[in-house]
Amino acid sequence: MSDTSPAATAAPESLLAAPDQATQSQITQEIADLHAEYARREAAGEQVPTTIHDFPPYRSSILRAPTKNPKLVDPETIELYSPAFGQRDVAVIESDLTLQHSGEPLGERITVRGRLLDSWGRPIANQLIEVWQANSAGRYIHQRDQHPAPLDPNFTGAGRVITDDAGEYLFTTIKPGPYPWKNHINAWRPAHIHFSVFGRAFTQRIVTQMYFPGDPLFPLDPIYNSIPRQADRDRLVSAYDHDLTVPEFSMGYRWDIVVDGPDATWSEEEGEH
């Protein structure tokens, strides 16, 4: 006789969840309370940062957020110790994540295109952009991602490209799926692509995430909501662009990245989900 009790049918990650984990409604309430508090502080004239690195609804951010001021380093000296951009030049084919194996990956093929800009709207050419993402089922090839969604033998989920003279980049990939994580009970990340942008020196690197329009998980996600202002969160959401959609081939999404100034794309500490 098969065991149909809730414990036997529940997904493994919920069986592993600690009994003191918060529910989604508790996390959603914490987010709403903090957003209201930041809005009050801003209305009172306080300079509220665009990035809240220690955002309690995003549980691990409390342990990971810096508690001291950043250490100042000499940008030239650190180049002698920091990782290199790679041992070889970036090949054009590395911007197509669907061509890395012998077969086609499963899922919705997409084209992601955008410009890398500074705060004056000037294009930033010859910059290395790296992306990494889950497959269409929401699974990463990573030892710590063991949730019960299939790996795709034809999809690794990492690519890179150099911006052209107009500061433009273009990736061909597969739309990533949402995936569960352990922040709270029934926590799911909205579908996203991780982006890393190198400036002209290692100390200028920024890391951020691109989302897809209309994701129903936005109001529930503590990472997305660690950015207090809606206008800043909106800058992380790509726009569907039918002119970028390739007939018979792929759906098009456009997303510009602004590296500094008041319109800067929010960036995160390293090690995010």
Tokens of 237: 């959401």
Annotated catalytic residues are 140, 179, 189, 192, 194
* Residue 59: φ, ψ to 5°: -55, -50
* Planar angle of CA 75, 259, 200, nearest 5 degrees: 35
**Is the four-CA dihedral 254, 257, 261, 262 of positive or negative sign?**
positive
* Planar angle of CA 108, 271, 251, nearest 5 degrees: 15
Q: How far apart are CA 145 and CA 155, in angstroms?
A: 15
Residues facing residue 179 across a β-bridge: 189
Q: How far apart are CA 80 and CA 236, in angstroms?
A: 33
Strands 206-211 and 192-197 turn out to be antiparallel
